[in-house]
Structure 1
């Protein structure tokens, strides 16, 4: 893994230099007796080697972005310069085509190159030394079959004296002992198989273990978690895992990167699952889970966290931030939506010892993966102090017992180091608006008309249908998309100049833009903005768009079931489908009801189907005991979004 090696190399190079005077030429090290390997390995041996290479996660580190597999060239940045992975294809000039099996074995088992130089531990030879002889032969058979790629290895960009490999001898004498894996007597075959995959081939401890000042794994605290490139590889020692995972859900997570109602993978671990673990057999994944859940506990395993409650004032403002920014998707009680949004309550990534994962995800956002959809970045919406409050809130709410140890200074440091979108910098939080008018010849909103609309809006005109008419009158051939862009561009400076938090401004601009999209569509233009303060569906061509409520504060008011807004027959059918569910309903339920109702009445308007479900669900939420007003609004909002998104692609 690139993240693992970047963090690790920096510490090891410093040690190698400090102790370099202890060195002796590596060529004098003892080598094993020559081992006979078939000159032309059979296909079965090669296939086994390919599988083992997946288990060992070899390809990602030996492949540059956009480069050919295993041809090397991946740059690993360290505080002392850049290291590059090497070409391990069968090319005899630039790869390892001239190597013998014994050269290959010596590199993996002993950490020594063909020329006798010590390998930097960017190559995890301290784990690979455990690979047994038969598997080494299979790996060798596979790499010999890799297509030759003539690609010279880049020169490492390490400054003197960090480029002296001899300095690694001292580290090796202190912390490295070559030894093949030996099964533990008295343990099952599955447990030992899991130990081999986790400890040797998978080298899991490289990311999940803290290191001492010399860069070596703290053996007494192995697998108890460590910071890695802006993320926190969590505690996976048996005590911590057994408190949160069952074997079947852990196997599913290792296979797919997601576990229902628990978590979804992100960061460096996403690469591991995509490139390595997802290729392993179910039996091997089960063996890994068996070992991880029952591995010998490290002597220095940390005690379970005892979360402390937030001070009342901090809790109050953080709770508001959560309702305004997170609750619609992750639900007021942090339960998420089954099949679409991961929970925050009980999520191992949320309650890790350090808050880095939550901070990084809030700043960067997440792409869609596994069962779950994408998550936007909140870096541009929330300040460092607000993000720290929000992170501490989710780590200490709904039964989560993590330590509330996020700080504004920590968020600021992470904002500088992780890959935050351009709009996520603090400078961009000033709510910059798009400039209207592109290159000559490009069609877009008319700048003069947009400026006139801005003045009109600033003067108090918020009548969106009238504003749509104004632009269409000034630009008669404008397409609906241009009209929407024009109104959003006109309204943005007005919102930017208003008071309030950035996220409030973004929410208002989003609401205005959605309404403009509805009004710019001919079938929707005659439909007035609904007076009900809930999410609402409006017809737009052959599909529909959603209109947001003007506020998510105050008592929840549901549309009257009098047949004036929604046909009574659809309301009755919606009531039969929804019944009296346990709240909140999972996202898949709303999608299923929407599809079922559309199938039952194929002639009904999609907007009527959506609004029948929204109205019915609103009544259910309104009548449920024990819900706060913010929870009620969040339940209806999330449900309405799911229903509308489903129906937008139904016909």
Structure 2
């Protein structure tokens, strides 16, 4: 409950000024409630210099990192925050982000304030907007190197901070939950009564065990420590007045807390705080982001550090990305798809610039298969992403092998040099006899990737997933090389084949089984796509639910319009026309969504056809699906 002055001021002095005003008027009741909440949050002492006007800032604080000065948070538009909007105010308290987008230091207790509810944030905003304007310039901070470099906040935020509004604990009384809210969020008691690690984050299980602050010691306020020496009545008297009969009187920074904050709280709120403090739960042993992760502790530790070292500089903490330059990973459908191929391909191959986003480099040369898998699982399960952690090192090995096709423009691609059978020195490669056997199948016209994989693995000794990819590329490449086509089309054909083989082999290596499907569907892989085959082709045909989860419902509706009521089975010319027409209706739709919308719409037509038997329906659907996917696969190659 003590005010950790040097911590509180470190971020507030970095808040911006002179931003557009928020024009909405607030009623007096909301403003009065905001004033009460500001008391509970103990805002004024840290934003007031000795002898200065309240909230005008300028308080110099000596910290282990240098001298910090609190900022002016009056309504002055030039030197205060009179030009802020509500969203900018919320961004500082809830997310720890300045109005100009820069990160606040953890000195500002946004790690506690993030729990403040939306209603209370609006009430606080109503109050601070009406603090009388005081023109007072903000002194420059005097932080020593490297603490004056804000880039270090990338690691801190990723490892120790997860924005999350306070949620009541089920099974606890209203008073207990109110006390928890006042102690943990508004009162930010942990900031002074808990020791911190070298990065300035509260030490897990040491919460409330006591810490040194401003030359004073903030004592332990764990439930066990308080229960040993305090009765409810004495504790309430101490919090409200600063003294308890025959016990002690407040001194040091705690005196400011009592004088400017706790003395103004209602009896009900003080009682609620005491209820919580005397029955507070054991402190968490993990930082908030790790506590929310489904990954094992050792995997989380390695993967989060990989993300900080390799990705956070561009994709930002919490995967938010950068507007108009770096796409977000948080909530990105390509990241959270059932299969992790998009993430794996992006990490291994990089991404070219496209649309409003810049290029992404390849990390294949600096990360091992295990590191890529753990990194993929980390981004797919962090920041409220709910994807399964199903990537494995073996799966990454597949996609690494599938990425071995020579890049267009290189001498290898120009000569169209096919991979040789055999591994690196000391390492096993594909089985030469088995490669020759599937090469004969391919030359005979068989392009069914699952059949080719099965044939190779049945004949080869000790055929691993990655070596199976190498084998299929070695077997298919000579056939492609003989085609009378430009090298870039050969390269595109071999790349599509490799990706399809990797997709077909991936289920063998997944840490978590992929969800079953009944139809051949398109999966996005970077800027291309592959086909996912049905798990059991013997089951009766069942069309996917039109619930917007597989593909946007609006796109399926447009696909139905494009198809109309065609004669079944449709011709190749009609099928290609459907693709062209749907792309024209929704030019921004991704290829996988276009393919799956058409597949779903066509499935409905096939199922309604009463003259066909089950085998015919399955054949019509599989043919339609594969050809639509292949048509869309080839479009990027034709446009290069």
Q: Check whether TM > 0.5.
A: no
Instruction: Flag the structure with larger Rg.
Output: 2
